[in-house]
A and B are shown apart, each in its own frame.
Chain A
Amino acid sequence: GAVVSQHPSRVICKSGTSVKIECRSLDFQATTMFWYRQFPKQSLMLMATSNEGSKATYEQGVEKDKFLINHASLTLSTLTVTSAHPEDSSFYICSAEVMGYSNQPQHFGDGTRLSIL
């Protein structure tokens, strides 16, 4: 149980393109999902916390107009990288927690490798 599906797994596109990444909890409901970015051999850095039905909470230094997050249902959150540039190339990973439980593990998607040419 507790499967998180992330799509697409890999994106290669031109600079200036906007890219949407989907994160779905397949067999459970998630009021909260998290979006991370990971550069090679570095830690997962939390970008934002996505709350169903409300605005996302962004971490310091993350541009909310650059990284648009929508959490329209209990099983789907999307991250849109707007007008992507080469410096946005990274590994983006989402995670979700089972609703109503604290101190429980997060369930991660398999990430999206974004490459901006």
Chain B
Amino acid sequence: SQKIEQNSEALNIQEGKTATLTCNYTNYSPAYLQWYRQDPGRGPVFLLLIRENEKEKRKERLKVTFDTTLKQSLFHITASQPADSATYLCALGRSDSSYKLIFGSGTRLLVRP
């Protein structure tokens, strides 16, 4: 069955360091992958989308990579700030499935001041 894995343990880093979050998937061939941020008691907020034919995408302090051979995406936050503390979700989608997304369970990031 389709499976998306994100590290369930919280990632705890010092302010200013680079945070790297991992999303691995099996039994799936996504056309694109998205990363969302979710704060407690709130809905997810879209951050970045990367397509299967793209290796890397950047947006300000954020960078996403997508390796369809390894079936993995890495999400980086450079110069991290305490305000970056949240849960980050990856989601996979296929262009033939009416825009449906399959979400990972998320990784909680804690940035210490």
Contacts and interface: CB of A to CB of B under 8 A. Distances in A.
Contact of B43 (A6, A32, A41): A6
A67 interface: no
How extensive is the interface on chain A, given as a class? 20 to 34
A95 B45 CA distance: 10
A85 B45 CA distance: 30
B95 A105 contact: no
27 contacts: A6-B43, A36-B103, A43-B4, A43-B89, A43-B104, A44-B103, A46-B100, A57-B98, A91-B41, A97-B99, A102-B95, A102-B99, A103-B31, A103-B49, A103-B51, A103-B93, A103-B95, A104-B99, A105-B34, A106-B46, A106-B101, A108-B46, A109-B43, A110-B41, A110-B43, A111-B41, A113-B41
Interface of A: 4, 6, 32, 34, 36, 41-46, 49, 57, 91, 93, 95, 97, 102-111, 113
